[in-house]
Structure 1
Amino acid sequence: MRIWTGKVIRLVTNDLDAPAEEIADLYKQRWQIELLFKWIKQNLKIKHFIGTSENAVRIQLFVALITYLLLRLAQAAQSAVKQPVAFARLIRLNLMHKRPIDSLSRPNIPPPINPRQMNLELNSG
């Protein structure tokens, strides 16, 4: 099969009835899946499966896919951080803090202390 650059690509298949374009499209779709799993492994730090049963592996894959989709949705909802990796890092750092998504890329400035609030001074001596 010849691609748009003029380069000839040879694909091996056991489906002799399907046209070359269909086989090439299947390879292209599979490559996109491979790239997705590569991103998940690199950015969600999944190096090995926690469980060994089929159910445990499925659960871990589903959790990774859900995490990926939630990160992409949250990233699309804000405009400050463009890279999914950088956005995932910000989420990880701010996971236990109640902050609006659009403020994650700005430093967290604590509210000013009310002067009428009681202060507790600790005397070390």
Structure 2
Amino acid sequence: YKNRWLIELFFKWVKQHLKMVKLCSFEQEAVWNHVFLSLIAYAVSLLVKLRLQTPKSQWEVLKLLRSYFYHSWQQFLAALNRVPSRKSRGRQKTDRVKLVEENQRVILR
């Protein structure tokens, strides 16, 4: 069952990130070509991620591969290892008690 679930996750990832949901043609050869090219793209992005031992996700590596396809390998590596200029603090928690008190003041006015 565990292996079946991993296969399901693999196909979900491929459909989401490699545009396998919408096919350009329904001829048998075109569908097979689309599947093989998607598998090649998946394998290349996985090999690059494993070879470079980057902490980035496979999706981030694939996006960079697409963006830097016509650039040099050094430019791709620079983009892959770039340190973010800003740090996101993420979604900030709101003080619910304070928010309720402010709403009550507005209602009482």
Match of 2:92 in 1: none
Query: 1:66: Cα distance to partner?
Result: 0.9
Equivalent residue in structure 2 for 1:68, among 19, 42, 47: 42
TM-score, with structure 1 as normaliser: 0.56
Go from structure 1 to structure 2 and tell me whether the alpha carbon gap of 1:68 and 1:37 turns closer, same or farther (over 3 Å shift): same
Map 1:1-125 → 2, pairs under 5 A? 27-100=1-74, 101-105=76-80, 106=82
* Bigger helix share: 2
Q: Residue 53 and residue 30 in structure 1: after superposition, are their counterparts in 2 closer, same or farther (change >3 A)?
A: farther
Amino acid in the other structure paired with 1:91: L
Larger Rg: 1
Unaligned runs of 5+ in 2: 84-109
Identity of aligned residues (%): 32
CA distance 1:104–1:77, change in 2 (3 Å): farther
Q: Residues 76-103 of structure 1: CA distance to partner in whole angstroms, max 9, x if unpaired?
A: 1213442001111111221111133532
- Cα displacement string for residues 12-69 of structure 1 (whole angstroms, at most 9, x for unaligned residues): xxxxxxxxxxxxxxx4333322211110111123321222122211111111011100
Tell me if the contact between 2:20 and 2:35 (Cα under 8 Å) persists in the aligned partners. no
* CA RMSD in angstroms, aligned pairs only: 2.0
Distance 1:45 1:62 in 2: 13
- The one-letter code of the counterpart of 2:59 is V
Distance (whole Å) between structure 2 residues aligned to residue 52 and residue 30 of structure 1: 27
> Normalising by structure 2, what TM-score?
0.62
